[in-house]
Amino acid sequence: MKKLIVVAIILMTTSAMASPYLVCDPQQGVTHYKITGLPWITEDVFAQADGSLKTDVALSPLGTNNITVSACIQDATWGEVCGEVSPFSYTRPAPPVITSNIRLIQ
C-alpha cells in the first residue's frame, strides 16, 4: 500500500510540473504552423507526426497573451501554402503575493 501511495505522489508531482502547451487537433497534411505573438518563437513550429500542434508556452509573460496560429503545408509545386489565421487568447496568472507575518506561536 505504501508503494502505491509513493507512486501516486510521484505521478501527481510530475504532472503538476509539466509546462502548459499550445495544442490543436490532428490535421492531415500539415507540415508546420506559423505562430505570432510569442516573442521566443521566431521560426515556424513543425507539426507532430499526425499533423497536430504542440508547443511549450511556459515562457509566456504574465497577463493576457494574444496570438495567432496558421496551419501550413510545403507543396512541391506551389511552395508554402498556409490556411486562414486563427486568433487565440489566454491568460498567465500572476504568482501569489509574498507571505507576511510568518511567526511561531505556542
Q: Show the domain range for 39.
A: 20-92
Q: What is the pTM of this model?
A: 0.74
Take residue 17 and report the three cell numbers written for it.
Answer: 510540473
User: Is 41 among the domain residues?
Assistant: yes
* pLDDT, one tens digit for every residue, the chain (106 residues): 555 444 445 544 444 557 899 999 999 999 999 999 999 899 999 999 999 999 999 999 999 999 999 999 999 999 999 999 999 999 999 988 888 888 999 8
Number of domains in the chain: 1
In the chain the first and final C-alpha atoms are separated, in Å, by 35
User: Is 48 among the domain residues?
Assistant: yes
Q: Which residues contact 1 (CB under 8 A, 6 or more apart)?
A: none
